[in-house]
Structure 1
Amino acid sequence: MLDIKAVRQDPEAVAQALSKRGYTFDVAQFTALDARRKQADVDSQALLAERKSASKKIGQLIGQGMSVDEAKAQVNETLEKIAGQLDQLTEQARSVQVEIDELLLGTPNLPAPEVPEGASEEDNAEVARWGEPPAFDFTPRDHVEIGEGLGQLDAETAGKITGSRFTVMYGELARLHRALIQFMLNLHTGDHGYREIYVPYIVNRESLKGTGQLPKFEEDLFKLHADQEYYLIPTAEVPVTNVARDRIFEAAELGDSGLRFACHSPCFRSEAGSYGRDTRGMIRQHQFEKVELVQLVRPEASDAALEELTGHAEAVLQALGLAYRKVILCGGDIGFSARKTYDLEVWLPGQSAYREISSCSNFGDFQARRMQARWRNPETGKPELLHTLNGSGLAVGRTLVAVLENFQNEDGTVTVPEALRPYMGGTEVLGA
């Protein structure tokens, strides 16, 4: 959520910054609502002063010759009238504040100044490339052909069990999927200083509101119909970041590098806005796995933290020998809660294209304000908002796709990357 003080101070500047996203902030609506709220406060203060003054009039009325009972009756009548007016103003102020909160909850974060202009992913700016796409002396297959050829990838059975955009994996392929998870977790907890965390896969509405999925993106979620409003998590970002909700961390708890969490979880997405896209295979599914990286840091550290976190995700691709490129998302493609995002796009020979495999974002204090996630600044002794960051380190299914396609052999087998062999019981080739 945006800082309402900053919005009040210069709503036109806020609107201008949001225009980079292609988002229109209704300055007139906000200004009118805020004026109504301010007037209700002014009127309430005036009535409170009138009530205080009226309470002192009993003695004056008696001094003017009125009986005690008459004086009390007249003053009580005035006080009852004021109380009724105060109740009306309180309800007006509450109603207006609800409208202001709804407006701000539906308003995206301000993009960082360095975020490039642009309307869609076509306008994202490439920052760097690593590795060379493999050269094959045969026509490379996509991951579906490879997996089905091995007899280890089965969308038909998944469709019978559940429906479209689900997958069943068998044998070595299922083990390779598990190996990727273990490899990523060990790398991030062993080399990059993350603390592994296990969290619920079901969250309440308040948690999704805190990280920005609600109220705006409810159609993208799987809601459980129960007595309480529970949802399947779209990403571990939601429960892990909400660990900090309504908390104040002492400076010693943050340390020099903030709090770092690595979490493996399934992710559940309805993909409501992607109808007809990537329906083949494992690129865009309703259920998939991720190893998520989350950082909670001091405000002055968040820019450097984004570069470091992105580097941690890159380290996975480099260790696996997968060619990729790094892009900074333009204003029209950046996520609702993010102020700056890097995407890592891995080379997929089956598509002859780079495809997103990780998205790493700095949210500034946007999520923290919604969650009231704070730290105590030792210089002032006062609580201040944290900055939150997260990124995929990596999306497991898409990494599996990349491994299958980049390390495929002409005979339909797949060479296991060296980094994964210790997790595969020494298996060097799938389907050998």
Structure 2
Amino acid sequence: MHDIRAIRENPAEFDAQLARRGLSPLSPEILRIDEARRAAIHAAETAKADQNAASKQVGAAKAKGDEAEFERLRALVGEKKTEVAQMQAEAAELDARLRDLLMTVPNLPLAEVPDGADEDDNVEIHRRGTPRDFSFTPKEHYELPAVGAQMDFETAAKLSGSRFVVLKGGVARVHRALAQFMLDLHVDEHGLSENITPVLVRDEAMLGTGQLPKFAEDSYQTTNGWWLIPTAEVTLTNYAGGETMDASALPMRMCAHTNCFRSEAGSAGKDTAGMLRQHQFEKVEMVTLCTPETALDEHERMTKCAEAVLEKLGLPYRRIVLCTGDMGFGAQKTYDLEVWLPGQDSYREISSVSTCGTFQARRMNGRYKPADGGKPEFLATLNGSGLAVGRCLIAVLENGQEEDGSVTLPEVLHPYLGGKTRLVDGQLV
């Protein structure tokens, strides 16, 4: 959420940054409500002061035996009490309207974020690894003989409908090994603390990270009001909700492996084959809580943590910086990592790493006590995939495929697979 004081001080700059996101000016409406809210608060305070002054004079008039003045003052006290209640109610209603409006306004992009309308305007930063030169035409993951019936879309459709999958046998074990490898890497080498969090959360948690109120259709809600998380960003970031942390505890770097749920609203017809775009999937998520001054350094650090997963798996990838028109709602700046999928002959997103500044912390009232003893300030928050497990499985299968139909698995996974090195007909050998 945005600081209303910053909008008051420089509304033109606020609107200019929104324009970079393709949005019309909002400061006139925001400031109109804010001015009315402040006027109502001032009127309530003035009426309260008048009420208090009249209340003090009531006793004096009674003591003097001035019945007319006593009745006039008593009536004035009643009028001012009613006026105070009316003004306070109006201020509260305007405050709610202002908060509701600000809750729908996206974060402002950092100056270095490239301008653009959509993904076509994203900018490549670098590439790592060289795509393999196949002596045969590579297949997509769901076509591989090594996978076979162990990636079962028919049973999943019978159980749940489209965009679900049942993994079996060796394919399921490789998927599990990938998640365990990612967690071990992030905990043992990158210094992240491992967490196991709920996948059902309240409205407040989804509001805090920005999934609500604008993007409710992208998530699933239970009949009793819980939301299924679209990512552990929601749970991990909300650790800060309503808290005031000591600066000495920062940065707080965390990770969690969870199931994630997305309705994929608006993605009809996209990536319908295979398991690239699913309603339920697994992800190892990274979240950092830190001071605003260190957020950009933490952004680079977190992105390198995600890149390390791909590099240790030997998967070619590229890093791109998203343009203003393609960034997520809560982000100030986002790097996407795109892994090479030879079956599609293209790079596809496997991680998105964002710095959000104080935007989410303001929504959830997450603060820290500065080391110098000053008043509490809002935290900065960051989140990123480290990585999407299912998409990583796809990349491992496609990049490791052999002409005989088998898949050679990355060496770093061998200890997690009981020393097995290949996938043949859905089984590890």
TM-score (norm 2): 0.96
Who is 1:221 aligned against?
219
Who is 2:2 aligned against?
2
Contact 2:146 2:406 in 1 (8 A): no
Contact 2:62 2:70 in 1 (8 A): no
Alignment of 1:167-178 (within 5 A): 167-178=165-176
Which one is further off, 48-57 or 1-10? Answer: 48-57
Who is 2:244 aligned against?
248
SS in 2 for 1:225: coil
Distance 1:181 1:96 in 2: 47
Q: CA deviation at 1:9?
A: 1.3
**Which residue identity does 1:181 align to in structure 2?**
A
Question: Would you say 1:50 and 2:46 are equivalent positions?
Answer: no
Who is 2:396 aligned against?
403
Distance 2:187 2:248 in 1: 20
Contact 2:248 2:371 in 1 (8 A): no
Distance 2:38 2:145 in 1: 63
Who is 1:376 aligned against?
369
Distance 1:148 1:419 in 2: 19
Who is 1:283 aligned against?
276
Who is 2:87 aligned against?
89
Q: CA deviation at 1:65?
A: 6.1
Q: CA deviation at 1:12?
A: 1.8
Q: Deviations over 1:288-323 (max 9, x none)?
A: 000001111111110000000000000000000000
Task: State the percentage of identical aligned residues.
Answer: 48
2:182 aligned to which of 170, 173, 184: 184
- Alpha-carbon RMSD across the aligned residues, in angstroms, is 1.4
Residues 1:357 and 1:71: Cα distance change in structure 2 (over 3 Å): same
Who is 2:316 aligned against?
323
Distance 2:233 2:64 in 1: 71
Contact 1:150 1:412 in 2 (8 A): no
Alignment of 1:9-28 (within 5 A): 9-28=9-28
The aligned length equals 425
Distance 1:93 1:104 in 2: 16
Who is 2:30 aligned against?
30
SS in 2 for 1:216: coil
Contact 1:148 1:154 in 2 (8 A): no
Q: CA deviation at 1:77?
A: 1.1
SS in 2 for 1:375: strand
Which one is further off, 138-147 or 49-58? Answer: 49-58
Distance 2:257 2:145 in 1: 23
Contact 1:247 1:373 in 2 (8 A): yes
SS in 2 for 1:315: helix
Q: Deviations over 1:42-74 (max 9, x none)?
A: 21222122213312333664688624xx54333
Who is 2:40 aligned against?
40
TM-score (norm 1): 0.96
**Which residue identity does 1:403 align to in structure 2?**
V
Contact 1:133 1:347 in 2 (8 A): yes
Contact 2:116 2:122 in 1 (8 A): yes
Q: CA deviation at 1:147?
A: 6.1
Residues 1:72 and 1:148: Cα distance change in structure 2 (over 3 Å): farther
Who is 2:120 aligned against?
122
Who is 2:192 aligned against?
194
Q: Deviations over 1:377-400 (max 9, x none)?
A: 021342111110010000000000
**Which residue identity does 2:242 align to in structure 1?**
D
**Which residue identity does 2:328 align to in structure 1?**
G
Who is 2:155 aligned against?
157
Who is 2:267 aligned against?
274
Q: CA deviation at 1:148?
A: 7.4
Distance 1:109 1:341 in 2: 12
1:295 aligned to which of 274, 288, 297: 288
Q: CA deviation at 1:418?
A: 0.3
Contact 2:117 2:325 in 1 (8 A): yes
